[in-house]
């Protein structure tokens, strides 16, 4: 699956946004979060952080809209367990979202506890992921 050159992945993007915000670079954090949300629009954490940063920047209407979106996603997540698929898990792992990919594999293994492919993939990923 092709990825844009500037795509960092959700985890790296969130870490960069938090770091920028901590260093007082709120505009930079806002740009990073917009990049994250362009490719992961259902990322509730990004919407919540974006709302806080927009408030600090004085972008009140935008902050309210971001906060509302975060709350909508939070409610949706409470009602529905996000879909799990081996394809999505592989994509997550390839882009460095190791914990999320392993969590998805665990959910798939709950549905198919004896699936040899899933078991082998999890063992492989546990060895390959950085500590």
For residue range 14-59, what is the model confidence (pLDDT) as tens digits?
999 999 999 999 999 999 999 889 888 888 899 999 999 998 999 9
Show the domains of the chain with their CATH numbers: 10-79 (1.25.40.10), 86-128 (no CATH)
* Cβ–Cβ under 8 Å, residues 93 and 101: yes
Q: Is the pLDDT of residue 97 over 80?
A: yes
This prediction's pTM? 0.60
User: DSSP 3-state assignment of 10?
Assistant: helix
Q: Where are the alpha helices (DSSP H) in the chain?
A: 10-22, 26-39, 44-57, 60-79, 86-94, 98-111, 116-128
Reported as a pLDDT band with limits 50, 70 and 90, residue 2 is very low
Nearest CA-CA partner of 101 in 21, 13, 25, 10: 10
pLDDT of residue 6: 58
Question: CA-CA distance, 97 to 69, in Å (whole number)?
Answer: 23
């Amino acid at each position: 699956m092709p990825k844009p050159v500037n795509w960092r992945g959700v985890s790296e993007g969130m870490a960069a946004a938090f770091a920028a915000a901590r260093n007082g670079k709120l505009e930079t954090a806002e740009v990073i979060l917009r990049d994250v949300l362009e490719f992961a629009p259902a990322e509730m954490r990004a919407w919540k952080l974006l709302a806080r940063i927009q408030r600090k920047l004085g972008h009140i209407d935008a902050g309210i809209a971001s906060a509302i979106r975060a709350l909508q996603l939070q409610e949706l997540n409470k009602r529905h367990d996000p879909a799990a698929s081996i394809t999505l898990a592989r994509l997550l792992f390839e882009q460095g979202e190791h914990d999320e990919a392993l969590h998805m594999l665990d959910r798939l293994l709950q549905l198919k506890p004896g699936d040899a492919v899933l078991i082998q993939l999890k063992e492989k990923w546990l060895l390959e992921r950085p500590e």
